[in-house]
Structure 1
Amino acid sequence: MKRNDLLKKSINVAVAAGISATTAAAVAQADWQQIGVMGDLNNDGKANVADLVLMTEHINNKTKLTNNNAYFIDYAYVGLNGRGFRGEKYFCTADINEDNIVDIFDLVMLKKYVADLWSEPVWKWYDEEIPQEITTTTTEIAASTETTTTTVSTTEQVDPNAPIFPPVNDITRNVPSQGEADIVIFYVDFPDCKYKYDLSAEQVDEIAFGGENTYSTSYPFDSISAFYNRSSNGISQIKGKAFRYTAKENISSYDNDKKKLLKECYKAFEESADFKQFDGDGNGVIDATIITVPEESDDDAWWACAGPSGLDAFLVDGMKVGHLITGDCEITPDNNINFVRNYSHEIGHGMGLPDYYRYVEKSNPNFDGLHGLAGIELMDDALSDFGAVSKLHLGWYKNSQIQVYDYSKGMQTYTLSSSQTENSNCLIIPCGELDSKYKSEYFVVEYNTNDRNNAYMRDVYYNEGSGIRVYHVNAEIYDNGYWVSYKYESNDSNGNGNGKRFIRITDDVEEYDNYYHTGDIIDSSVSGFCWYDENGLESVDPNVRITIGELTENGYTVTVENT
């Protein structure tokens, strides 16, 4: 398809959907040509990790973007997202959401572009004549109706043993967090890039989807399925199948075109496999596909990442391909830790969770979003279990396992069971009124222990790493009309490390053990135990004090009171 036809097609789709559009009509000897993509800040024609670094440095006021990071168009007409308009001298590809400012929301979208391996194309009109302007308007017809509002007093019966509604269901994601999630794994090597230790599809199946094996040298990363089953107490069941495949071309042919490899893999097995079975929630979409390659690959091209495949037109057995996860997490004869922990983290993205680390250089002390022993979490450093906030948003708590502090009742005492038991629970202290779907600001208090899914940390830190930890959460939603995400995911609102984030932890310092134990008191004098102010800083006294009580066989007691 010619590029100008592609642009016209996108315009026609917008009009058909009832969207007003203004664009330029093609005339003889004229054409639209793609000059790049949104998010391309180093002018190499694509959006990748290098562009993420440039935008992050800009937002953090380290190195500001200039016209050198934009496209020189010299007042030509520009085509973007199905519409055309007269441009300025330079076109800013960093302003991805087109609100005339480059900020954290553009960074979130750029991260999605990089993960999806797709970016919004930027077109330029090449012709000496000024193109004719075509304006399409849409008329809305509203039906006349009468509405009668009736107020009915009801008492909703809540099943205490039923899992809560997963807040991530309102986020753009492909992998169901409750019930069965089905995953296709392509364990791929290349003519010029082989695995050091070759595995059959059946061996990969066992490591990915096998049952619990507490004797495994890789425990608790014995398998992805076992890890998720323990973490969710059976609410989430990861199933799937692995396929062993050698690609047709050398690995460099796919470094910048993961979709090419994805299509090739599916076509290789389309006659021998029924891919309709990999749709856990029955929505006509394969829940997730993992393409894993040898660790000798180019790490810049194959670092573990995840995002929607973006292949809406490509069907496999009549199914769309949902989430795509790629990575170079090779399995060794005696160790599957790297494979299981990294892809468990990426599946968490598929379910809707953001990264908890920040998008800054790894040398930056604030790269880890959560510090200290209490800050170790699968969505941050991928070394341990999901924490209470993750489990809350994935819908892995039952109604009876969530306790909410009621300010009107004054002093209240709660018992927190270990995060690694079937009776695990959490305590929420809301900032004002708690949103019914937990999409507001609040503290989450959890008793975390270093057994089961945290056993790896017990071995690393010599039995340290248990106690009470307190998360500060701001789970507001950002919806730009086609993508829904957590508003403050993966970075902070002001770009300098001090602003609002989806998740923080109190006493967020690089101490050896920053858990709380019997006798500890948590109030506004504790770092991070404050609400956000209008500037996004943790400075508002919550007027609450938490006192850590005794540790019994049932867990820790914690007392909360107004101050």
Structure 2
Amino acid sequence: MMNNKITRIFLVLGLLFILIACGQDSSFSIHFHSNGGTLVEDITYDEGMVLIMPANPSRDGYTFGGWYWDQETLSAPFSASSLLDRDVLTDADLYAKWELVEYEITYVLFGGLNHGENPSSYTILENHTLLSPSRTNYIFAGWYRDAEYATPITEIEVGSLGDISLYAKWTLDGNSTDTYTIIWQNEDGSVLETDITEVGILPTYNGATPVKTSTETQTFTFMGWTPSVVIVSGNQTYIATYEAHDINLEHPFDPSEVNTIFGYDIIAELPTITTTDYTVLNFSDASYLEVYIDIFDWLESDAIAYSDLLDLMLVYDDVEESWVVGEYFIYIYLDDLTYEGLEVYGIGIYGDLALLSWAGMISVLESDFNEPTLGTILPELEGLTGISLNQVSGSEYGILGSYQQPNNAQMIGYYIEDLELLGYLYNAELSLLKNEDVYTFTISTDLVYALYITYDEVSVEIRFWSFDPTVVESSLETLPTRQTINQYEVQSFGQSGLPSVGTYDVLVIPVEIKDYPFPSDYLTNLELTFNGTSFETGWESVSSFYYKSSFGKLDLNFEITSKYTTLYNKSFYQNHEDLGDQYAIVEALNGLNSQIDYSHYDYNQDGLIDSVIFIYSVDYNSDVDPWWAWVYAAQFGEASSITTLDGKSFEYYMWASYAFLEDGLVSVSNLVVNAETYIHELGHLMGFVDLYSYTHDYGPVGGFDMMDYNGGDHGPLNKLLFGWLQPQLAVKGSYEVTLESYSIDSDGINSAVLIPYRSRDMVDGNAFDEYLLIMFYTPEGLYSGHIVNDYIPNQAGIVVYHIDARLLETTAFWDNYFMYNNDGTSDFIVEILEADKNDSIPSLNNPLQMSDLLTSGTLNLSSYTWHQGGAMNVSIEVLSVIYNTSDTVSFVLTVS
């Protein structure tokens, strides 16, 4: 029998059968009948060949059930063993078996009840007409394939494929209004807020920004809510989500050690020292100060860059070969000897120590305290020599000197007795607080001087300060998030532009003007400019800037299309002047219509594309339209001819040159791309106005704002109206306030104080009113990229803004909403109240000056007036010594 059959060896690999024949000559074919599936070619076997089965066929709506020998019943499956049982010299026919796929149907009913005859599944052969569900107090408005209600559906047709979700759309029947419970919950399960909200309303969380406790290795930034917040259609729980950030266990430069040596904030007079690996060496003696800061993470380029900054800020002394800083000298050095194998760059500061007499010290204090008779309040401690004066905080000083008496303790005791004869009293409460014996001298009900004395065998320090006993520590209310400009538009007009809170995709279309091509790497550079990291760009991208500026409340992803090349040359669009941009825009939108789903960019479902950014290839020129940058609306030009794009109307847009990303940034030596112009214009897309002046080189903010000279960060009004900032509210009273640095604030809370014109102005939930905003500025954070520009201060201080953001009585969508702007010489929407009160801004040539910031002493604002009438009876007395890297500032705020 063996000789009458072919000897076969089968190797089965996956779905492949490999037949190796030996022995007698043989040849046969296998014919494959796919029965409606994809074509499978016949195979023929000749002696000595390897027989490999072909890939399985496919068929829409079916799964392949295998090959079978019989066509009618498909009951005899093909397999290796079945082939062995046949005489393979005979040609074979195999038939495909198919099994129908049953697809699942998911109904999203939003509280409704599905019709009992609607199917839960279907196959490719079935047709189902969808029946209407029901819901109490609602009228069914149709089934849709998507939650955005963009694609209606009435039946599942024969030939349909895949699992589907169907969304029921409802409208109120007009006879009732449903309300639902919205719960805002922290990640740990604790309830932050519970709201009862009407159906059809977008719920808003009004509490403090959720926080997650830091660990030893990570901090956490609030990112938003899960699931995404949507219009109310039923009870819903939203859970706070966070992004983890690894803690940098290295320590940034702390100026306090150097400042203590010199007795004042000398570091504030220098450019910001950026390092996380340094040591301070003090070789000073009683008459000479000599301090070195060895900086281990500086390269030669860092040392050169810092020298350049010193050149910009300080005068160079050719004799000393150093820069002059106050009474001292500063220079940059390279130390290649002290640390074996290392080249360490550093900063040296040196100079003679100027010692004071008692009378000289009293003269300084009389000026600082504005107390001409201080010499009678603070009598001389006889025998104290080599006196130096150190300002510990805004109103606290340390008087240090050498003191070597036969019995220092006895002599100090006699001095305290003299103080008591003058009227000083022991203060038990302050003594407990300071852990020293504190004595106080009362001038009036709101002014008291205090001191305590520490000493050893060779020296004495007298701590002396003033305070107002009527002032209480701040317990100011933190304002809930205010209504945003975007929310105002929705409330007033039923439509809006780009929201300022949330996570969104934003469409960017590069428009190549026919005779001005983009460079070959344009897409790479645009991706960096709009979506890059701080490291990748050298400063910030549009996305990274807004994520930081908004404290994580605005997370933008820019979807950049391939370029559209216009039909005409530059001259065609230029001939249309400031209307020329919309001729190119209409071409681009229509030309890319088949490639872009425009409906994806209407997040608030108001029927408008939220915004589109057009980047054109021509170099910008502010004197020749349309080659500049602006934000505008389609309704005012040629683009009004566009009806809809994927069911959405086109309205808000940005128009800006590609060349803006090639601009330099003086403070950033390793800049790759510059996003600042696009950042400014995006502020307009969210509804905010320009803060620069059309009549002066510098307006009432002096250039100090991203919406003014494209500098630094968004100011406090901007962030308040974007829904990012929650200032403390101060009405009548005196408070001791501690503010965090606005520049490095991470959550928008406790970094600003708001003083309303009327205490009731804030109860309506918006900030479209007149008020003061106070912030503590340090030259850090997003401001650091512009720190050498003359309109961004290089030293820290308190900034006071007068805001009048009242709205016009009658407004229209995409019109001017505010009563005031920043043009002219008075009646501004935002102005900085100058601490020096010299009215230097607005100006034809002067930006914001350092003297316009409050750095010490008291600022009385009563000489300024409210637009609505009356003096601003507000005063600010600084309590802290302010450093460039101070995390906080303390001051007494009096509102009367």
| Secondary structure, aligned partner of 1:320 | coil
1:441 CA drift (Å):
0.8
The two structures have a TM-score, normalised by structure 1, of 0.62
Structure-1 separation of matches of 2:557 and 2:603: 9
Q: Counterpart of 2:821?
A: 490
1:454 CA drift (Å):
0.9
Q: How does 1:224-303 map to 2 (within 5 A)?
A: 224-243=542-561, 244-255=563-574, 256=576, 257-296=580-619, 298-299=621-622, 300-301=624-625, 302-303=627-628
Structure-1 separation of matches of 2:604 and 2:816: 20
1:547 CA drift (Å):
1.4
Structure 1 residues 518 and 503: CA distance shift in structure 2, 3 A: closer
Q: Give the number of aligned pairs.
A: 382
Structure 2 regions of 5+ residues with no counterpart? 1-193, 196-204, 211-479, 666-670, 841-845
**1:506-540 alpha-carbon deviations (Å, 9 max, x no partner):** 116235314534423222366xx431256xxxxx3
1:391 CA drift (Å):
0.4
**1:468-505 alpha-carbon deviations (Å, 9 max, x no partner):** 1011000111143524644334345xxx512x211111
1:443 CA drift (Å):
0.3
Q: Counterpart of 2:207?
A: 159
- Alpha carbons 2:611, 2:685 under 8 Å: kept: yes
Query: Does residue 682 of structure 2 align to residue 347 of structure 1?
Result: yes
Structure-2 separation of matches of 1:490 and 1:304: 20
Q: Counterpart of 2:668?
A: none
Paired letter, 1:503: V
- Alpha carbons 1:315, 1:321 under 8 Å: kept: yes
Structure 1 residues 489 and 379: CA distance shift in structure 2, 3 A: farther
1:384 CA drift (Å):
1.4
- Alpha carbons 1:288, 1:324 under 8 Å: kept: yes
Q: Counterpart of 2:529?
A: 207
Structure-2 separation of matches of 1:229 and 1:440: 27
Structure-2 separation of matches of 1:406 and 1:225: 37
Q: Counterpart of 2:632?
A: 307
- Alpha carbons 1:309, 1:322 under 8 Å: kept: yes
Candidates 747, 769, 778, aligned match of 1:449: 778
Paired letter, 1:405: A
Q: Counterpart of 1:141?
A: none
- Alpha carbons 1:329, 1:338 under 8 Å: kept: no
Paired letter, 1:490: N
Structure-2 separation of matches of 1:406 and 1:491: 27
Structure 1 residues 391 and 182: CA distance shift in structure 2, 3 A: same
| Secondary structure, aligned partner of 1:286 | coil
Structure 1 regions of 5+ residues with no counterpart? 1-154, 535-539
Structure-2 separation of matches of 1:416 and 1:295: 46
| Secondary structure, aligned partner of 2:850 | coil
Paired letter, 2:535: T
Query: Does residue 691 of structure 2 align to residue 356 of structure 1?
Result: yes
Q: Counterpart of 2:858?
A: 521
Structure 1 residues 318 and 158: CA distance shift in structure 2, 3 A: closer
- Alpha carbons 1:516, 1:548 under 8 Å: kept: no
Paired letter, 1:542: M
| Secondary structure, aligned partner of 2:718 | helix
Paired letter, 1:160: A
Q: Counterpart of 1:13?
A: none
Structure 1 residues 459 and 359: CA distance shift in structure 2, 3 A: closer
1:227 CA drift (Å):
0.4
- Alpha carbons 1:369, 1:380 under 8 Å: kept: no
- Alpha carbons 2:529, 2:673 under 8 Å: kept: no
Structure-2 separation of matches of 1:239 and 1:215: 16
**1:136-195 alpha-carbon deviations (Å, 9 max, x no partner):** xxxxxxxxxxxxxxxxxxx99952226714331224751101113432222222232234
1:229 CA drift (Å):
0.3
- Alpha carbons 2:820, 2:828 under 8 Å: kept: yes
Q: Counterpart of 1:557?
A: 890
Candidates 545, 551, 560, aligned match of 2:875: 545
Query: Does residue 504 of structure 2 align to residue 504 of structure 1?
Result: no
Q: Which structure has more RCO (C-alpha within 8 Å, separation ≥ 6)? A: 1
Structure-2 separation of matches of 1:368 and 1:518: 22
Structure-2 separation of matches of 1:439 and 1:549: 32
Paired letter, 2:806: E
Q: Counterpart of 1:389?
A: 717
Q: How does 1:50-65 map to 2 (within 5 A)?
A: none
1:248 CA drift (Å):
1.5
1:344 CA drift (Å):
1.2
Q: Counterpart of 1:179?
A: 502
1:354 CA drift (Å):
0.8
**1:124-143 alpha-carbon deviations (Å, 9 max, x no partner):** xxxxxxxxxxxxxxxxxxxx
Structure 1 residues 251 and 319: CA distance shift in structure 2, 3 A: same
Q: Counterpart of 2:222?
A: none
Q: Counterpart of 1:476?
A: 806
1:561 CA drift (Å):
1.1
| Secondary structure, aligned partner of 1:201 | helix
Candidates 384, 405, 415, aligned match of 2:738: 415
**1:229-253 alpha-carbon deviations (Å, 9 max, x no partner):** 0000111122221222221111222
- Alpha carbons 1:240, 1:278 under 8 Å: kept: no
Candidates 522, 528, 541, aligned match of 1:223: 541
Structure 1 residues 180 and 320: CA distance shift in structure 2, 3 A: farther
Structure-2 separation of matches of 1:332 and 1:533: 45
Structure-2 separation of matches of 1:177 and 1:198: 33
Structure-2 separation of matches of 1:208 and 1:358: 28
1:459 CA drift (Å):
4.5
Which has a greater percent of strand?
Answer: 2
The structure with the largest alpha-carbon Rg is 2
Q: How does 1:82-161 map to 2 (within 5 A)?
A: 159-161=207-209
1:464 CA drift (Å):
0.9
- Alpha carbons 1:465, 1:515 under 8 Å: kept: no
1:450 CA drift (Å):
2.2
Q: How does 1:303-342 map to 2 (within 5 A)?
A: 303-310=628-635, 311=639, 313-330=642-659, 331-332=661-662, 340-342=675-677
Paired letter, 2:531: F
Candidates 706, 717, 727, aligned match of 1:402: 727
Structure-1 separation of matches of 2:799 and 2:509: 38
Paired letter, 1:167: T
Q: Counterpart of 2:794?
A: 464
Q: Counterpart of 2:758?
A: 432
Structure-2 separation of matches of 1:182 and 1:322: 17
| Secondary structure, aligned partner of 2:611 | strand
Structure-2 separation of matches of 1:478 and 1:241: 36
The two structures have a TM-score, normalised by structure 2, of 0.40
| Secondary structure, aligned partner of 1:470 | strand
- Alpha carbons 1:359, 1:490 under 8 Å: kept: no
- Alpha carbons 1:472, 1:506 under 8 Å: kept: yes
| Secondary structure, aligned partner of 2:537 | coil
Paired letter, 1:254: Y
- Per mean C-alpha deviation after superposition, the further-off stretch among 388-397 and 174-183 is 174-183
Paired letter, 1:159: G
Candidates 679, 687, 701, aligned match of 1:370: 701
The root-mean-square deviation of aligned C-alpha atoms, in Å, is 3.0
- Alpha carbons 2:776, 2:798 under 8 Å: kept: yes
Paired letter, 1:557: S
- Alpha carbons 1:428, 1:443 under 8 Å: kept: yes
